[in-house]
Chain A
Amino acid sequence: MSESPGVQAAPQEVWERPFVRAHQEWCSAFVLELRLRDVPGPVIGERLGEVEGHCTETGEPPSAAFGDPTDYAREIDAESSPERVSGVWAIAALGAGQVLAMLVGTDAIRHWASGEPLTYNPVQLGCLAVVAAALLCLPRVLRPLMAHPWVVGTALFAVVTAAGVGAAAAGGTSSTVVPVSPAVIAIGLFAVVLALSWLEYRELAGDSADDLVTSPLTPEPRANTAARRSGWSTFLPPLMIPIYYLAVGLLSWVFG
């Protein structure tokens, strides 16, 4: 997008910059709106660099020079090159796959622990499909979720809870026996969860390397906290579901 002789030798995340820290609310809203529009991190950093450079020279706060951050983000994005990132959809799909494998797998562990065969019926399959659909549409509902967290969040929670209750209630109805041992299913799906976690980690690590919101401006003398933070934020999300899977499995064996 731009040539940057000399200035971009050591890209620095925008959150490390004193200007961004001083105008945190405005800058966060600006970055959030561009993120929701799938604008790549370095492009967002360049737009924020324009704001910082201009405000530094005029002495104005960004709200005075550029107005409302969300409106300005929409306007500048409408006039910019249509570069987009799509990693969020891949991560949503991987996350949905992990959750489905976890739901079926932990149910298989419960049956394994009690010595019963794993069964299913159409209602339970339908409820699983509803949960999968809710997870897959998360990137699409992110904007209304941020704007109305209680309304949209409660609606999502209600849908997922209803699916869970529906699946549990349907457990007593006539079911088909899965012709595979619950132990094989539980272990096999744990392997699937681990594989999906690895793919999610790869996706997040790729994003953290290529899609950080880096500033094109001269770096400020403090940057390493960003690297530490991005390392943890890359590592933790993919591990959460395998850890939960193991914890539920353990509890099923102990109390099942």
Chain B
Amino acid sequence: MPTGPQPSEWLRGVLELCVLRVMADGPTYGYAIAGRLADSGFGDIKGGTLYPLLARLEKNELVIVDWRTGDSGPGRKYFTLTDAGRAELEHGLTQWEAFSARVGVHLAAGGDTFVHSTHSSRSSA
């Protein structure tokens, strides 16, 4: 089924988790992260969106950074997950799985579960 790009509000909520997941595969740099996200169907993530997020990860010590000479170009800033970053990723994945399952159940039931449980609780009361 063809799907267009997701609403930007959705992406904003999960972009940090997706970036952490890319970093879990090893040290990487901004352009490569944007490329991996594009390959995963998230569309073109602009530098103005990505680098403030990377700066926040750096400030919160979820990554360490180092500048390396690139194969082409002047150099690259590599990001490597710290132990705190891996813990944040694990925590985020757990939260996301629970949240997406909840949303999935809700959407599949069209809200019936909520209405049903509300009616049940009122009846029993």
Contacts and interface: CB of A to CB of B under 8 A. Distances in A.
A57 B75 contact: no
Interface stretch (A46-54, A97-105, A125-133, A177-185): A46-54
Interface in B20-53: 29-31, 34, 46-48, 51-53
Nearest to A53: B76
Contacts of B31: 53-54, 57-58
Given A2-B65, A3-B66, A218 B48 contact: no
B74 interface: yes
A167 B91 CA distance: 68
B67 interface: yes
Given A51-B47, A53-B30, A80-B59, A3 B64 contact: yes
A6 B52 contact: no
B102 interface: no
B74 A217 contact: yes
A51 B55 CA distance: 13
Contacts, number: 94
Interface residues on A, range: 35 or more
A237 B1 CA distance: 68
A54 B51 contact: yes
A81 interface: yes
A3 B74 contact: no
Given A49-B67, A53-B76, 10 more contacts: A2-B66, A3-B66, A5-B67, A51-B47, A54-B31, A54-B47, A58-B31, A66-B46, A80-B55, A217-B74
**Top 6 A-B residue pairs of the complex, sorted by shortest distance between their CB atoms:** A217-B74, A65-B47, A57-B31, A66-B48, A79-B55, A79-B56
Interface of B: 29-31, 34, 46-48, 51-53, 55-56, 58-59, 64-70, 73-77
Interface of A: 1-8, 17, 19, 46-47, 49-58, 60, 65-67, 72, 75-76, 78-81, 216-218
